[in-house]
C-alpha cells in the first residue's frame, strides 16, 4: 500500500490547500533505525498558507505515538509525537541561503514534486530526542543495578583480603 502524497508546494499555497491523512509507521523506512518496533500510525495535516510577511509556507501538524528504544535498558519506550511547524518555502537556493541566516525561521526549498510523506518523516526525525530513555527509576536495568549494588555492599562488608587469607591457610 502506497501512502505517498506529492504536491507542488507553491500551487498548494496559492490554492490554500489542506490535506489530512494517516501514515502507518512501517512506511517510514528512514525512521526505522530509531524505533523499537514498527507499530502505530501518525495523523497529519498539511496546509498551504502565507506567513505574516506574505511568504508562502506549509503549516505541518503531526500527532501519534511511536516506540523508541531506551538507551539505558534497550526496552520499548513510548514516545508521543506532537509537532506543529511552519516551513517557509524558498523558490531558489539563494533565497534559501538568505532565509537560513534567520534562526527563527525554518525554510525548505520548494520543488515542483514534493513528497509530503518524506517531509513528515524528516520533521519527525529532527524532533526525536538525542538520547531516548525512560524517566529515572523506570528502566528495568536500574532495578538490576540496585540489586547488584546491594550484593556488592554485602561483599564489601567482609574484609577485602578475607578470601586471600582463607586461600593462604589451605596451602
pLDDT digits (tens, 9 = 90+) for 131-142: 888 888 888 765
Q: Any idea where the domains of the chain sit in the sequence?
A: 6-133, 139-171
Q: Residue 72: which residues within 8 A CB-CB, separation 6 or more?
A: 133, 134, 139, 141, 142
Check residues 81 and 4 and name the one with the higher pLDDT: 81
Least confident range of 70-74, 103-107, 131-135, 143-147: 143-147
pLDDT digits (tens, 9 = 90+) for 42-63: 999 999 999 988 999 999 999 9
Provide mean pLDDT across the span 6-25.
93
Is 70 exceeded by the pLDDT of residue 105? yes
Amino acid at each position: 500500500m502506497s501512502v505517498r502524497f506529492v504536491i507542488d508546494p507553491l500551487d498548494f499555497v496559492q490554492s490554500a490547500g489542506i490535506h489530512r491523512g494517516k501514515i502507518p509507521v512501517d512506511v517510514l523506512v528512514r525512521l526505522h533505525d530509531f524505533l523499537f518496533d514498527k507499530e502505530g500510525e501518525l495523523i497529519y495535516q498539511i496546509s498551504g498558507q502565507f506567513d505574516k510577511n506574505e511568504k508562502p509556507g506549509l503549516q505541518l501538524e503531526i500527532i501519534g505515538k511511536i516506540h523508541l528504544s531506551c538507551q539505558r535498558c534497550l526496552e520499548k519506550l513510548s514516545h508521543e509525537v506532537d509537532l506543529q511547524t511552519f516551513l517557509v518555502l524558498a523558490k531558489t537556493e539563494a533565497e534559501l541561503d538568505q532565509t537560513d541566516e534567520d534562526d527563527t525561521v525554518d525554510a525548505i526549498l520548494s520543488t515542483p514534486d514534493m513528497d509530503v510523506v518524506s517531509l513528515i518523516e524528516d520533521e519527525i526525525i529532527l524532533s526525536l530526542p538525542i538520547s531516548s530513555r525512560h524517566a529515572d527509576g523506570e528502566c528495568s536495568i536500574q532495578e538490576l543495578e540496585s540489586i547488584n549494588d546491594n550484593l556488592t555492599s554485602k561483599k564489601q562488608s567482609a574484609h577485602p583480603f578475607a578470601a586471600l587469607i582463607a586461600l593462604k591457610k589451605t596451602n
